[in-house]
Amino acid sequence: MSIGPKNKSSKGRRDRRRANWKMDVPNLVKCSKCGELMAPHRVCKACGSYNKKEILPTE
């Protein structure tokens, strides 16, 4: 016996399973220091600050 499905899956069941493969929109918030959009709870790439404190030195 070969490996495979025991019974046929209907088109509706197959399509409902495949419907969950969608991308999520990334959640973005404004930086409290410079106002640039950034991911929440991350260091801002534009100004290098987190929670109104400078973490990364800016050139």
What local confidence, expressed as pLDDT, does residue 58 receive? 65
pLDDT in tens, 18-55: 988 888 888 999 999 899 999 999 999 889 999 888 88
Domain range spanning residue 37? 27-59
Residue 15 domain flag: no
Residue 38 domain flag: yes
Residue 2 domain flag: no
Residue 45 domain flag: yes
Residue 10 domain flag: no
Q: Is the pLDDT of residue 8 over 70?
A: yes
The DSSP H or E segment spanning 15 is helix 11-18
Tell me the DSSP string of 32-51.
TTT--EE-TTS--TTT-EET
Residue 9 domain flag: no
Residue 39 domain flag: yes
**Domains contained in the chain, number:** 1
